[in-house]
């Protein structure tokens, strides 16, 4: 049995913490009995966790200096003027 788009929509609202209380109750009850939707939610949560697991990279060490060296010349001299 294919579950309604409405239920999938509730799953997404739930993931965004943007779900009405009544809808959350409906969703929770539905997930108790529907393995397909429970699996769907599980796969979405897993995808999010995988994407979040990649979130730790840093800019190259000389980054700030490289930016500062590339700023337009005329602005560099403004600080000297009165």
Partner 1 sequence: METIVKNRIKQVKKGDQNAFAEIVDLYKDKIYQLCYRMLGNSHEAEDIAQEAFIRAYVNIHSYDMDKKFSTWLYRIATNLTIDRIRKKKPDYYLDAEVAGTEGLTMYSQVAADVALPEDQVATMELQQMIQKEILKLPDKYRSVIVLKYIDELSLIEISEILNMPIGTVKTRIHRGREALRKQLRHL
Q: Which stretches of the chain bind partner 1, using CB under 8 A?
A: 9, 12, 15-16, 18, 40, 43-44, 46-48, 50-55, 57-60, 63-64, 66-68, 70-72, 75-76, 78-79, 81
Q: What is the token pair recorded at 17?
A: 């913490």
| Minimum gap (Å) between residue 74 Cβ and partner 1 | 10
Residue placing its CB nearer to partner 1 in the complex, 18 or 33: 18
42-51 burial, b if ≥16 CB within 10 A, otherwise e?
eeeeeeeeee
Question: Which residue stretches of the chain are H helix?
Answer: 5-15, 21-33, 35-52, 63-70, 73-78
| Minimum gap (Å) between residue 53 Cβ and partner 1 | 7
Residue placing its CB nearer to partner 1 in the complex, 30 or 40: 40
């Amino acid at each position: 049995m294919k579950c309604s788009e409405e239920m999938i929509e509730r799953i997404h609202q739930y993931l965004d913490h943007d779900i009405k209380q009544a809808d959350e109750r409906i969703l929770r009850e539905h997930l108790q009995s529907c393995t397909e939707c429970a699996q769907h939610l599980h796969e979405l949560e897993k995808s999010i966790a995988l994407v979040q697991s990649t979130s730790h990279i840093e800019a190259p060490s000389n980054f700030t200096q490289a930016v500062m060296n590339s700023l337009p010349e005329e602005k560099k001299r403004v600080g000297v003027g009165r």
